[in-house]
Amino acid sequence: MTDPSASAADTAVRLYIYDTSNGWCAQATSASEAFQAAADNAPDPVDAAWTLVTTTMALQAQGRAMPAQTGLQLPSSAADLCLSYLASTMTFEHVCKAYGRPTGHWLAVMYRFEHQEPILRPAFLMHPAATLSRLEIASWVAQTVEHDRAAHGSEVHRLVFSGKGPKLSPLLR
The domains of the chain are located at 15-172
What CA–CA distance (Å, rounded) separates 87 from 103? Answer: 12
Kindly state the DSSP code that residue 171 receives in the 8-state scheme: G
pLDDT at position 65, please?
Answer: 58
What CA–CA distance (Å, rounded) separates 165 from 163? Answer: 6
pLDDT at position 168, please?
Answer: 95
Does the pTM exceed 0.75?
Answer: yes
Q: pLDDT of 35-77, one tens digit each?
A: 888 888 877 888 999 999 999 999 888 876 555 555 678 888 9
Q: Assign 167 a pLDDT band (cuts: 50, 70, 90).
A: very high
Q: How many CB atoms lie within 10 A of CB 146?
A: 11
Q: Are 25 and 16 in contact (CB under 8 A)?
A: yes
Mean pLDDT of 5-27: 79
Q: Which of 162, 124, 151, 121 is nearest to 18 (CA)?
A: 121
